[in-house]
Amino acid sequence: MDKPINKYLPVSAILLCCVIWGTTFVVVKDVSTLIDPFLLAASRNVLALAALGLYLITAKKTAVLKMEKATKYGAVLGILLGAIYILQTAGLVYTSSNHSAFISCSAVIMVPIMMYFVGWQKFTVQQVIAVVIVSVGLLLLTYQPGIANFNFGDFLTFIAAIICAVHLMLSGHFVRKVDFLALIFYQFLFAALASGIGLLIKFSVFDTEPVLFKMEAVPNVLYLGLLGTLFCYFVTVWGQKHVSTVYTVLIFSLEPIFASFTAYLAFDELFSKNEAFGAFLIFCGILFYSVPKSYLKLGLKVKD
């Protein structure tokens, strides 16, 4: 019989993950000129994979890896995860960590749109309003008149957010069908493989320059691999056993706030008035989307 846990522990653990993921935008920005995006994506997934593999061996849980469906589902999620990491890292070469954080978090409201088109969910008025609010916020945050002011980094980050939404939608579907440890293991494995193959193709076909890697990048890679990837995945899954999905999403709506605070401390990044108002609208839209009608009337509940 499982021991009862303090009711505040899961919430605190998820909030800690939110803080860590918020800081990863600055960590990636800091390392974006020191390591190739493909190599960074491969490295952080290899680290997470090695640590998880060691845990499965010592805990004698390797039997879960024999599930054929877990391999297939993990391959799909892994390729998507690798693409997200690569695009976000490449995008941060050209845009600020503030922009990257708020654009990335817009993936939350893209999920119901995609689920609607595949027939898994119908739109509600609340979701439509949230989509409109976030769309206006994205426009204010990223739009600069004139083709010369087009921000390629914002564009790459937006593509990553779309892929992230697909990843969120499919992972929520797949995790109900297979063991989550096996799913995460194969996700890390195929994300590392996809990133490694991408690196080989890039430098054998399109680039004659040596692979970009400087030793100064090592601490950032360790932080991203062990904390930003492995730790946060495990803690979030564990926390959702004790905290409602709605409350979890609400907590993660704070992620861009932590990202902005970290960016200010690290790089002295500040928003213009239009950008600040756009970021505020994105945050409000995500928050509004995350709160069910009953919660709007009765307030938050920790469990469904």
173 located within any domain: yes
257 located within any domain: no
Domain containing 191: what range? Answer: 31-217+268-298
Q: Which two tokens stand for residue 230?
A: 């492995």
Q: How far apart are CA 304 and CA 289, in angstroms?
A: 17
Counting the structural domains of the chain, the total is 1
145 located within any domain: yes
Query: How many angstroms separate the Cα of 284 from the Cα of each of 17, 27, 100?
Result: 21, 25, 17
At 33-55, the pLDDT tens digits run 899 999 999 999 999 999 999 99
274 located within any domain: yes
Q: How confident is the model at residue 226 (pLDDT cuts 50, 70, 90)?
A: very high
Q: Three-state SS for 213? A: strand
Q: How far apart are CA 128 and CA 143, in angstroms?
A: 22
135 located within any domain: yes
155 located within any domain: yes
Of 249 and 181, more confident = 181
Place of tokens 């799909």: 76
At 115-154, the pLDDT tens digits run 778 877 777 788 788 888 888 888 887 766 655 567 889 9
35 located within any domain: yes
pTM: 0.81
Q: Are the C-beta atoms of residues 97 and 30 closer than 8 Å to each other? A: no
82 located within any domain: yes
Q: How far apart are CA 117 and CA 122, in angstroms?
A: 9
